[in-house]
Structure 1
């Protein structure tokens, strides 16, 4: 069996009904209509201003009387996400349920498909480094891996966690790297916040991003301000060993690096990824 790591901070929402797929497809940043079995899509629900309310993974089970969609989402945001869906439901033939109490989310980092009995499973679409994700019924998984290993792999892949690396409700999808993590479909047509996302895609640069760094000594604590040349350019997020993520003004970072300055946080020098 693949090394299984329980992601205890994840919840599960179910959307069912004759119009379930159309309902979600018309709301979120990725294509749900073409979603097939043994696949999951990374997507987000945005505000009309284009900022991320919540990101999640969508699984789809097709049925003759309507589809069943399962959303692997942050446990802390399940109630808010359900409230938002209810607001948008209007006359759509859909129903929602919070299945978090009876299910759990498990990550398999060795790249092999899980051998355990799963409700749904698929490769993590954000990065091959993150292996497979699976939805399990509680009590059926033998997950016993070290969560710190998952966090280290997530950080190495440049994948932010909205609960620690950016503020839900405060950032645009490009700033959370969703354009680099297969979370945006630029051909699917309209959804909530789509016009703002499209405008950002056609800019020459995105000014802010969650970016990877390596610290030259012990990594600064989460929430440390990042400075370069005396200019405050952002704040650190999660870290594993010397590697971490920070939400920064990448335009100012590049400008000041070119001028010979070094970034630092809490007195620790930071080297940012060249692809920031």
Structure 2
């Protein structure tokens, strides 16, 4: 696929400013805020105290010095919920929380040569200023391309950089083919477990940063090997099954379809069923549609 870009209306920007901004988020989100700088972005989760998914977002620092601000990109229709939850923990922290949806948009650049066009290396989270905003290699997986937080007039600079305007569906097909989940399209608030969604392999979790919301149960899940299900990229032929369609194996419940587009989807499947299907030549079904699960080649936690 040639290099292109799309504006993600389903994501918006919120800002955390003030001298305590990093310390404040450090105790709440799953990744290490000390690694977030104007040169390095991160991907993180906001979890319940029980370690269940609430929000996911990229985080980058927009500047340095006294004017430094941390920018996050929660889902557009859930950003008010994130801001509300953050305000609950503000207490005496010297921070300010601001919705910047009217000032900044979220864009993605993807396809062959997209990172090079923006002057970014294929290093997760590598960041640089761009067109009055910031561009960074996707901190989850460089194969997804770059993410950008831009003022409205900065989007034109993407075409000046040689990137063609594309539909969000093109980006979604890439995401699904790689097996990367996207917020509530694939995770259920207050129910989904980060490691079931391969968030550890997508650089969302720091295992040595210390305490944060949901940290104890997330660590216990990892070190006691409690994961029984995982999200898998699946391919199929024919009409796409709807999100939420039950998946069966040999006539028995085996999981559920999550987001889907054209001939690709993500499905949450029981690991023992995936192994049994591979060993016995069995086929998963979502209704009448046959599904073939694939192990993402980027998930090294699943290998050996």
Note whether the superposition's TM-score is higher than 0.5: yes
Instruction: Give the TM-score, by structure 1 length.
Output: 0.92
List aligned pairs for 1:1-276, cutoff 5 A: 3-61=4-62, 63-65=64-66, 67-109=68-110, 110-114=114-118, 117-142=131-156, 144-204=165-225, 206-274=227-295
Change (3 A) 1:38 1:118: farther
SS in 1 for 2:275: helix
SS in 2 for 1:214: strand
* CA distance in structure 2 between the partners assigned to 1:99 and 1:30 by the alignment: 22
Structure with greater strand percent: 1
Change (3 A) 1:62 1:33: farther
* CA distance in structure 2 between the partners assigned to 1:241 and 1:83 by the alignment: 36
* CA distance in structure 2 between the partners assigned to 1:178 and 1:226 by the alignment: 22
Contact kept, 8 Å, 2:233 with 2:267, in 1: the verdict is yes
* CA distance in structure 1 between the partners assigned to 2:21 and 2:229 by the alignment: 34
Q: Which runs of 5+ in 1 are unaligned?
A: none
RMSD: 2.1
* CA distance in structure 1 between the partners assigned to 2:117 and 2:197 by the alignment: 27
Instruction: Give the TM-score, by structure 2 length.
Output: 0.84
- How far does residue 256 in structure 1 lie from its aligned partner after superposition? 4.7
SS in 2 for 1:108: strand
Task: Please say which of residues 235-244 and 101-110 is displaced more in the overlay.
Answer: 235-244
* CA distance in structure 1 between the partners assigned to 2:64 and 2:40 by the alignment: 16
Structure with greater helix percent: 2
Cα deviation per residue 1:110-137 (whole Å; 9 max; x = unaligned)?
Answer: 2235386141110001112211100011
Task: Please say which of residues 108-117 and 259-268 is displaced more in the overlay.
Answer: 108-117
Task: Please say which of residues 240-249 and 50-59 is displaced more in the overlay.
Answer: 240-249
Q: Which runs of 5+ in 2 are unaligned?
A: 120-129, 159-164, 297-301
Contact kept, 8 Å, 1:45 with 1:52, in 2: the verdict is yes
SS in 2 for 1:36: coil
Contact kept, 8 Å, 2:62 with 2:133, in 1: the verdict is no
Change (3 A) 1:4 1:235: same
* CA distance in structure 1 between the partners assigned to 2:277 and 2:179 by the alignment: 22
Aligned length: 276
SS in 1 for 2:256: strand
Structure 1 residue aligned with 2:127: none
- How far does residue 274 in structure 1 lie from its aligned partner after superposition? 3.6
Contact kept, 8 Å, 1:51 with 1:173, in 2: the verdict is yes
Cα deviation per residue 1:171-213 (whole Å; 9 max; x = unaligned)?
Answer: 1111222111111110111101001110111133621222111
